[in-house]
Structure 1
């Protein structure tokens, strides 16, 4: 019960601080190294544009060149040769939190 309560409170606090919506929370899982590098994940999330749209406080959806560049990079990412150990890392490792 404590764990569930903690996760519920933590989720509410994240939403308050970063103004994220449920759609963003669903799509953010694709930013993990394993998902980002997976061709199979592209069946579910072929474009990063929905995540960008739900994060309008971070990036302007009106900057079409930037959104297109991000989407192009997203689509090519599984085709890039990256060391296998990268897929075992978490998002926090890359954000400097870990």
Structure 2
């Protein structure tokens, strides 16, 4: 790889350079049970908000472990979300 000014790079060269810099993703897919569980969580979380609220629920693979990110929760709706999640947790059968 040779060095050259940014302005001299083509789009394809920039894409290749960015791809080379990215960390590889985990090759192990998440189990379907984790995906199904996050779908349930997403439905519960989104039921607390109106369409257009900036709330996002995302499942990601972090070193082979399923991780859920919940972002964009308006502060005035925080208590409602916590109460809803607690109620949902109480519905689950105890292990």
Under a length normalisation based on structure 2, what TM-score does the superposition of the two structures give?
Answer: 0.23
Say which structure, 1 or 2, has more relative contact order (CA 8 Å, 6+ apart): 1
More helix by share: 1
**Structure number with bigger Rg:** 2
